[in-house]
Amino acid sequence: MPDPAADHRQTAGRFTDLVRSADPRSWDNPAPVDGWTARDVVGHLVEWFPGFLQGGAGITLPSGPSPAVDPVGAWTSQADAVQALLDDPETPGKVLSNPHIGDVPLDQAIANFYTADVFMHTWDLARATGQPIALDEGRCAEMLAGMQPIDELLRSSGQYGPKVDVPESAPAMDRLMGFIGRDPGWSLS
């Protein structure tokens, strides 16, 4: 497994590039997640994670602007705060406790749940803002292989939509997106 701090730096950095490059008029564009806009993709990431961190590890991230008002500021504020947490040499010695996942080293919990979520939602944001995207094929294949055995558990969580059929011969990015309920051919029209 890659170093959680380095992985977040790279993954969040790519998302940050998309956030900063987005045409300001694109924030209300529809996203590949049914009922979401580009702004909602950012909102999702900055809204669920602070509670997960507070509830499981007692850590409060500094508050940034609302994604409804300033999606760029909301994202960059959180990305910087999470990076500072991961760069702190004390973080790997801390534990996040959660009734669904048990006790997990804090840096691994951030990597497994948050950074992985940022990685997948990078595709959503790129598509919603009309920017090109090519996620790392190796990471997509690895994530898909890790998620397929727990398909039923993931679907029952309500966090993933129904699978979209994608040919096995398709790129790993398309197969991962189909698995989590996205149409890999989705685009702004």
Question: For 141-186, what is each residue's pLDDT tens digit?
Answer: 999 999 999 888 888 877 888 899 999 999 999 999 999 999 999 9
Name the residue among 48, 51, 22 with its Cα closest to residue 122. Answer: 22
16, amino acid identity: T
Rounded Cα–Cα distance for residues 152 and 148 (Å): 9
pLDDT band at 88 (very low <50, low <70, confident <90, very high): very high
The set of residues, in sequence order, having a beta carbon less than 8 Å from that of 101 and lying 6+ positions away, is 109, 113
Domains of the chain: 4-133 (1.20.120.450), 136-189 (no CATH)
User: What 3-state DSSP class applies to 177?
Assistant: helix
User: Which pLDDT tens digit goes with each residue over 11-35?
Assistant: 999 999 999 999 999 999 999 999 9
